[in-house]
């Protein structure tokens, strides 16, 4: 081979590497060093957008220089701000907080049954009878007629107290306190569930942005491939089929870019609704993946999930409240005794039936001998609800154990998947480089080059997906046990 031919071959190979291949430093995640065969994820930073080749023309109508060219963000928030705003604006959190306040009010009412109830009443009586005829005491002859206003005014202050309730007050207090504890546990559970939803929305927005970057890289690569195939066809070293396939690849890449931007727009506006912003919200924050090592061992995490998970505590508290409700319903079989006393103030009207001033004290009891099986129905319903609550609490513990084991395994697999995805990106980029050189030398076809480009794009997408699957898996485990890891 002559020196001139050798130089032309070297220059041509370099042109393929520069035109077909995106820069190595522009991939979506730092590649694992080839000197380390274990392929441990770098867990450093997500890659920046691949550098554009300024000398290459861009097709009209395609803005491949910006990720969010179609979005006007109303706010930019970090993950801590997103979680805090979601907790403030969540209807479910408002409902859970209202349940706690309602439970506290019910508890106050239950304690209030130990105090007497006090009432004040007043009446005003007016009659059309204005006269009264009196008879003589002996002869019965009509006597003088007395005339007076037939009206009466009275006021009464009365107090009543349940002397004996058959244990109803104690059962009501126990049920109210258990209901408050159940509502408080439900509030904690809802707080972590809302935080998980906020984190998922945050990561989905970041994932969508990264997928747009991958699509932009694919569009830029397809544009360069089309330009190069067109140039080769003009030189007579490529066929019309190569150019048509290059145009098809560019069209497909642009369609995927449109879909990726649509997904980004959807997720950005969904995040805005979640945090209470009227518009799209940009998710910003550190791109560093948390390390695979957790703050607790697997056995400790499972034990915490079984004993102290917010869902488990809420189910246990509801079961206790249901048991107290059964005891309250059973007190209907015991009669109660009530003491009532009061004093009435009234004028001295002579009208018939007018109220007279004075004291009144009464001790009464009431017990329905038969009320159409209402008591039995109350007890049966309360017992059925209590049984269901106990079974649910036991099942919730089993679920917490199974879910914690599943999430721990999923977290490990997600971390391994990140490592494999990084290796896949490295291999796909190397394959694209080799196929590009072979195509330049006429050994490979443009179909081989197109396949390598598609594999490189799919590897980038797999890496982005793996990174955020790991983030969401970790957040799900933290939400399950109710603490940060």
Tell me the CATH number at 341.
1.20.1600.10
What pLDDT, on the 0 to 100 scale, is given for residue 5?
A: 42
- The CA–CA distances, whole Å, from 7 to 4, 434, 437, 442 equal 5, 19, 15, 17
Q: HSE (CB half, 13 Å, CA atoms) of 225?
A: 36
pLDDT on residue 128: 62
- Rounded CA separation 105/442 (Å): 83
| pTM exceeding the 0.85 threshold for the entire prediction | no
Quote the pLDDT of residue 402: 92
What residues of the chain score a pLDDT lower than 50? 1-40, 42-65
pLDDT digits 0-9 by tens, 226-279 = 888 888 888 777 788 888 888 998 998 999 899 999 989 999 999 999 988 888
How many structural domains comprise the chain?
1
CB under 8 Å to 3, separation ≥6 — which residues? none
Digit-coded pLDDT (tens) for 338-374: 888 888 887 766 555 566 778 888 888 877 788 888 8
What DSSP character marks residue 127? -
d(CA 211, CA 261): 9
Q: Structural domain of residue 401, as residue ranges? A: 3-481
pLDDT score, position 335:
83
* DSSP-assigned states of every residue in 150-195: -EEEEEEEEEEEEEE-TTHHHHHHHHHHHHHHHHHHHHHHHHHHHH
219 bridge partner residues: none
Q: What is the pLDDT of residue 35?
A: 35
């Amino acid at each position: 081979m002559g020196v001139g031919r050798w130089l032309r071959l070297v220059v041509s190979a370099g042109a393929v590497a520069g035109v077909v291949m995106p820069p190595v430093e522009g991939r979506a995640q730092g590649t694992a060093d080839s000197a380390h065969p274990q392929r441990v994820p770098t867990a450093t930073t997500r890659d920046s957008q691949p550098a554009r080749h300024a000398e290459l023309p861009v097709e009209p109508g395609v803005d491949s220089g910006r990720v969010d060219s179609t979005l006007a963000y109303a706010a930019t928030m970090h993950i801590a701000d997103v979680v805090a705003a979601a907790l403030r604006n969540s209807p479910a959190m408002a409902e859970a907080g209202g349940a706690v306040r309602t439970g506290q009010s019910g508890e106050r009412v239950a304690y209030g049954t130990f105090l007497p109830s006090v009432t004040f009443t007043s009446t005003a009586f007016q009659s059309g009878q204005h006269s009264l005829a009196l008879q003589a005491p002996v002869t019965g002859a009509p006597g003088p007629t007395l005339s007076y206003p037939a009206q009466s005014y009275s006021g009464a202050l009365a107090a009543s107290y349940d002397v004996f309730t058959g244990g109803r007050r104690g059962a009501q207090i126990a049920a109210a306190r258990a209901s408050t504890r159940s509502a408080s546990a439900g509030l904690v559970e809802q707080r972590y569930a809302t935080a998980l939803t906020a984190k998922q929305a945050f990561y989905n927005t970041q994932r969508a942005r990264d997928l747009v970057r991958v699509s932009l890289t694919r569009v830029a690569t397809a544009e360069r491939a089309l330009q190069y195939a067109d140039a080769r066809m003009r030189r007579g070293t490529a066929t019309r089929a190569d150019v048509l396939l290059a145009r098809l690849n560019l069209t497909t890449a642009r369609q995927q870019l449109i879909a990726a931007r649509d997904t980004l727009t959807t997720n950005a506006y969904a995040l805005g609704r979640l945090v209470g912003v009227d518009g799209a919200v940009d998710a910003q924050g550190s791109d560093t993946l948390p390390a695979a090592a957790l703050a607790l061992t697997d056995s400790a995490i499972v034990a915490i999930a079984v004993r102290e998970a917010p869902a488990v505590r809420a189910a246990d508290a509801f079961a206790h409240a249901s048991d107290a409700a059964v005891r309250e319903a059973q007190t209907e079989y015991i009669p109660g005794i009530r003491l009532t006393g009061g004093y009435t103030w009234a004028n001295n009207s002579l009208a018939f039936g007018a109220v007279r001033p004075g004291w009144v004290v009464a001790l009464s009891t009431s017990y329905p001998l038969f009320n159409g099986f209402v008591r039995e129905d109350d007890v049966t319903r309360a017992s059925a609800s209590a049984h269901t609550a106990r079974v649910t609490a036991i099942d919730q513990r089993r679920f917490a154990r199974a879910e914690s084991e599943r999430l721990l395994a999923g977290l490990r697999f997600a971390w391994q998947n990140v490592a494999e995805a990084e290796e896949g990106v490295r291999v796909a980029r190397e394959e694209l480089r080799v196929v590009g050189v072979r195509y330049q030398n006429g050994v490979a076809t443009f179909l081989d080059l197109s396949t390598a480009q598609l594999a490189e794009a799919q590897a980038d997408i797999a890496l982005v997906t793996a990174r955020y699957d790991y983030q969401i898996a970790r957040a799900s485990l933290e939400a399950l046990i109710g603490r940060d890891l």
